[in-house]
């Protein structure tokens, strides 16, 4: 059986055949090569796959609660969920920063933006601001972010180096950029290769844009948590 895009082989019960067909079609497209690491840049998962992000088994398969705990987010902090999709992580970040904090939830697709806005309204997340991003700009305020989180998103950026520059400018001097990515080093992770990233690839690409590699947090079943900080420019 083929591995569907970056997604796991099991399609959730709430996904329709149309959703599955859209994901398969997207997976069939060829990606370009990254200019620094040479990896294949994966195509973005369409909004049709939003139900996959909300599947009941996600906690068992990916342990997002462990990921959130590992990030050590404090009340009152300013954080961003870049490529927020349906808002699965957005709500968890909002809970951690509390009413005195701020969460910027960004996405490229207008349909995802609509889902985010609906979720914010339904759950009364007054600390969340939804932002329509572009391929090169997350449209985050400069120098204000304690943490920028990208969950299974970075490998899909069409113009990653340009985006990294904008993300870096949005971080506070001691802020963190955190990538959660499926481990390419592990052949047993049931995800397409172009939707995985190795630590080496991430370091090559981010260090080229003046990020300093901090550490890998390995507490998740299939993914690694890659922590970077702004490098001090000489």
What domains does the chain contain, in order, with CATH numbers? 17-230 (3.40.50.150)
Q: Report the pLDDT value the prediction gives residue 45, as an integer from 0 to 100.
A: 87
Low-confidence ranges of the chain (pLDDT < 70): 1-30, 234
Report H helices in the chain. Answer: 17-27, 50-53, 58-62, 64-70, 88-97, 110-123, 160-170, 199-207
Task: Look at the alpha carbons of 15, 123, 46, 155 in this order and tell me if their dihedral is positive or negative.
Answer: negative
Composition of the chain by helix, strand, coil, percent to 5: 35, 25, 40
Per the prediction, the chain carries an average pLDDT of 88
Residues 6+ apart with CB under 8 A from 91: 119, 123, 125
Q: Report the pLDDT value the prediction gives residue 234, as an integer from 0 to 100.
A: 66
User: What DSSP designation does 12 have?
Assistant: P
Measured in whole angstroms, how far is the alpha carbon of residue 175 from the centre of its chain?
Answer: 17
Q: Measured between alpha carbons, how far is 205 from 132 in angstroms, rounded to an integer? A: 24
Rg (CA), the chain: 17
Q: Report the pLDDT value the prediction gives residue 160, as an integer from 0 to 100.
A: 95
pLDDT tens for residues 51-92? Answer: 999 999 999 999 999 999 999 999 999 999 999 999 999 999
């Amino acid at each position: 059986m083929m591995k569907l895009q970056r997604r796991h082989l099991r399609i959730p019960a709430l996904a329709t055949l149309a959703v599955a067909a859209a994901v398969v079609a997207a997976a069939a497209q060829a990606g370009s090569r990254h200019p620094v690491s040479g990896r294949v840049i994966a195509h973005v998962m369409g909004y049709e796959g939003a139900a996959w992000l909300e599947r009941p088994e996600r906690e068992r398969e990916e342990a997002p609660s462990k990921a959130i705990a590992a990030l050590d987010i404090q009340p009152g902090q300013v954080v961003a969920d870049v490529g927020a999709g349906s808002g699965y992580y957005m709500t968890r970040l909002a809970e951690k920063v509390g009413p005195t904090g701020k969460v910027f939830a960004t996405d490229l697709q207008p349909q995802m933006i609509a889902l985010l806005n609906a979720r914010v309204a339904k759950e009364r997340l007054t600390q969340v601001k939804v932002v329509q991003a572009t391929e090169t700009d997350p449209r985050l305020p400069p120098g204000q972010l304690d943490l920028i989180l990208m969950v299974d998103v970075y490998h899909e950026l069409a113009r990653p180096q340009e985006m990294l520059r904008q993300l870096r400018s949005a971080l506070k001097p001691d802020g963190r950029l955190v990538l959660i990515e499926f481990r390419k080093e592990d052949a047993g992770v049931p995800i397409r290769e172009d939707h995985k990233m190795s630590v080496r690839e991430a370091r090559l690409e981010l260090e080229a844009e003046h990020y300093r590699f901090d550490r890998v947090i390995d507490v998740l079943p299939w993914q690694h948590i890659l922590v970077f900080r702004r490098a001090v420019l000489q």
